[in-house]
Amino acid sequence: MGDLGRKGRPALAFGPMASAPVGVTELGPQRADHWKAFIAIAISFVTMVFSMTMVFVALAAMADHYGVTLRAISWVVIVQSLVISALMMPLGRVADMVGRRRVHLGGLVLFAFGSVGVAFAPTFALMLVGRVVMSFGNAMTQAVGTAMVVAVFPPDQRGKALGSQTSVVAIGAAMGPIGAGLVLQVLPWQALFLMLIPPLVVAYVAGYKLLDEAQVSASGDAPSGPRPAFDWGGAALSALAITAMVLTVSNPFALAWTSPAMVAGAVVIVVLFATFVRWELRQDAPMLELRFFAVPTFSMAVTSRTLGFVGYTAVSFLMPIFLISVRGLREGATGAVLFLASLGMGLAANQSGRYSDRFGERPVFLVGFALNAASLAGIAMLGRTTPLALAMVLLFANGLALGLWNVPNGSAILASVPAQHLGVVGAFMNLTRNIGNVVGQALAAAIVVGVMTARGLDVPLSEIASTAGAAEAFLHGWRVSYGVVTALAVVSLALAVVTRPAAARSAEGG
C-alpha cells in the first residue's frame, strides 16, 4: 500500500504483513485474574447502559413534568448522543496518552455529578445541562471501555472478551426498562437518576482497586515516558464535524429540509469532514489513522455496524412510545416487554463471541444481519390490534440479531488494524455505534413528528391515545420510519456479504 500521509511518515502494514495485528502481538501484561478486572469495568458498563435505556421509558413522564412535546423531549436523548459522539475519539486519544484507568475513573465522577444535576433541575433547560455533564462522563468511560476489556484478556480470546462485554451491556439494557418501569409505578422520574449514584460509587471503588494502569493501557501508547503530541486540530475538526452532522440530521428546529439553513448545514458538514481528512493525512501522529479505511474489511465492517445501530436505536426510541402511548401499557409492563430485546442480545452475544473465535467472524455476523432485517420488517407491520405476543417475539428476535452481528463485527474491525492503534480504534467503534444511535433516533423522530405535524397533531405523548387521529398518524409515521430502517438493514446485510475478514484471521494464525 502506498503512503497516503505526509511525506516521510511511515506507512502502515495490514493483513498478513501487519507487524502487530491484534491477536498476534501480546497486548501487554496478561493476568490469570483478568475476570476481576473485567468485573470492575463491567459494573460501569451496566450502570451507563442502564442510564441510557431507562430514559426511553421515562420520556413520557419527563415530558409531562416539564410540559413539552415529543419534539422537545427528544433532546433528552439527542443531547446525550451529540456530546458522546463529538468527544469519543478525542477522549480515546487522550486516554492513550495519559492512561485509560485515569480517564475511566474521571468519567465516573463526572457522570455522577451530572445525574444529581438532572434529578434536581427545576427547568427543562437546566435538566439538559445536567444531561450534557452526564454525557461527558459517559463519553470518557465509553472511550476506554472496549480497549480496556480487550487488553485484560489473552489475545486469543478477543471474541470471548467482546462477547462478555456485550452480554454485560445487555444486562444493563434489560435492567433499564424494567427498573424504570417499576420505579415509575411508585416514584417520580427524578428517582431514576438518583438511583445511579450507589452503583457509580461501587464502580469507582472497584476500578480504583482492581484496574492496573499498565495492564489496561498496555495496547496503546504507554502513559509513562515522553507523551506523543496530541492532535488538537484533528480533535477540534472531528468534534465540530460530528456536532454539525448531528444537529443537521436531528433538525431540532423543524426547518424545511430544503431551507437555506439546512442546505448550509449540509455544506458545513462536507467542508468540515473534508478539512478533517486533509488535516489528518498531513499529521505525523493523527488522532485517527484514516488509511485504515483503505482496508476493505475495516471500511465495510464499520459501515455495516453503523447502519445496524440505526435500526436498533429506532426500535429503542419508538417502541416504548408505541407500547405506552398507543397500546396503553403501564410502564412496568412496557419494561417487561422491552426486556426481551436485551435478553435476546445477551443470549446471542456470549455465544457469538465464542463461535467467532472458533469458526471465524463472517458466518456469525451474516446470520445476525439477516435476522436484523427480517425482524425490523416485522416490527414495521405492528399496529393497535396486533397481538402483543407478536411484538414480543419480534423484539426478542431483534435482540438476538444484535447479539449475533455486533460481537463478530467488532472482532473483525479490531483484527484488521495494528495493535498499537487499539485504543483509538476501540473509541472509534463506540463512535460508530453512537453515530448510528444519533441517526436512528433523529430519523425515527423526524419521520413520526413530520407525519403528525403535517396532520396538525404535534401533541404531548400522554395525549396520543386520547386525541382523535393522533394514534393513526403516529402509526403511519411508524410504518414509514421502519420501512426506511429496514431498507438500511438490507444494505448492511449486503455489505456484510462482501466483508471477508479472512486476511485478519490469517494474520492471527487462525
Q: What sign has the CA pseudo-torsion 418, 43, 174, 164?
A: positive
Residue 486 placed within a domain: yes
Query: Both 379 and 310 in a single domain?
Result: yes
Helix (H, G, I), strand (E, B) or coil at 22: strand
Higher pLDDT, 123 or 150: 123
Examine the fold and report which residue of 286, 309, 327 is the final residue of a domain before the chain moves on.
Answer: 286
**Stretch 113-138: mean pLDDT:** 93
The Cα-based distances of 116 to 58, 120, 155, 196, 205 in angstroms read 16, 6, 39, 9, 19
CATH number at residue 390: 1.20.1250.20
What is the C-alpha to C-alpha distance for residues 464 and 472, in angstroms, rounded to an integer? Answer: 9
What is the C-alpha to C-alpha distance for residues 457 and 450, in angstroms, rounded to an integer? Answer: 10
Residue 12 placed within a domain: no
Query: Both 257 and 376 in a single domain?
Result: no
pLDDT of residue 111: 96
Query: Both 118 and 161 in a single domain?
Result: yes
Q: What is the DSSP letter of 21?
A: B
Contact 471, 465 (CB under 8 A): yes
Q: For the chain, how many structural domains are there in total?
A: 2
Query: Both 363 and 490 in a single domain?
Result: yes
Residue 251 placed within a domain: yes
Q: CB-based contacts of 82: which residues, under 8 Å, 6+ apart? A: 135, 243, 246, 247, 250, 438
**Which cell is 467 given?**
386525541
The string of pLDDT tens digits covering residues 209-245 is: 888 888 777 654 444 455 667 788 888 898 888 888 8
What is the C-alpha to C-alpha distance for residues 248 and 349, in angstroms, rounded to an integer? Answer: 33
Query: Both 148 and 243 in a single domain?
Result: no
Q: Residue 503 above 60 pLDDT?
A: no
- Among 480, 477, 486, which residue's Cα sits nearest to residue 454? 477
Helix (H, G, I), strand (E, B) or coil at 114: helix
Query: Both 165 and 104 in a single domain?
Result: yes
Among the residue ranges 18-32, 251-265, 312-326, the one predicted with the least confidence is: 18-32
Cβ atoms within 10 Å of 47's Cβ, excluding its own: 26
Query: Both 255 and 365 in a single domain?
Result: no
The string of pLDDT tens digits covering residues 462-497 is: 667 667 677 788 888 889 999 999 999 999 999 888
Among the residue ranges 268-277, 349-358, 401-410, the one predicted with the least confidence is: 349-358
Report the Cα–Cα distance between both ends of the chain, in Å, rounded: 23
Query: Both 295 and 166 in a single domain?
Result: yes
Query: Both 328 and 464 in a single domain?
Result: yes
Examine the fold and report which residue of 264, 286, 308 is the final residue of a domain before the chain moves on.
Answer: 286
Helix (H, G, I), strand (E, B) or coil at 25: strand
SS3 of 336-384: HHHHHHHHHHHHHHHHHHHHHHHHCHHHHHHHHHHHHHHHHHHHCCCCC
Higher pLDDT, 96 or 228: 96
Q: What are phi and psi of 22, to 5 degrees?
A: -60, 130
Residue 9 placed within a domain: no
Contact 383, 474 (CB under 8 A): no
Query: Both 277 and 296 in a single domain?
Result: no
Query: Both 362 and 259 in a single domain?
Result: no
What is the C-alpha to C-alpha distance for residues 66 and 63, in angstroms, rounded to an integer? Answer: 5
Higher pLDDT, 342 or 227: 342
**Stretch 137-153: mean pLDDT:** 85
Cβ atoms within 10 Å of 224's Cβ, excluding its own: 10
Contact 326, 475 (CB under 8 A): yes
Cβ atoms within 10 Å of 274's Cβ, excluding its own: 12
Domain around 265? 232-286
pLDDT of residue 282: 86
Cβ atoms within 10 Å of 92's Cβ, excluding its own: 31
Helix (H, G, I), strand (E, B) or coil at 180: helix
The string of pLDDT tens digits covering residues 43-87 is: 998 999 899 888 878 888 888 888 887 677 878 888 887 888 888
Cβ atoms within 10 Å of 26's Cβ, excluding its own: 12
Residue 342 placed within a domain: yes
The Cα-based distances of 252 to 71, 72, 459, 498 in angstroms read 7, 8, 16, 36
Residue 374 placed within a domain: yes
Residue 434 placed within a domain: yes
The Cα-based distances of 446 to 15, 57, 336, 455 in angstroms read 41, 19, 27, 14
Query: Both 405 and 320 in a single domain?
Result: yes
Residue 225 placed within a domain: no
Report how far Cα 363 is from the mean position of its chain's Cα atoms: 23
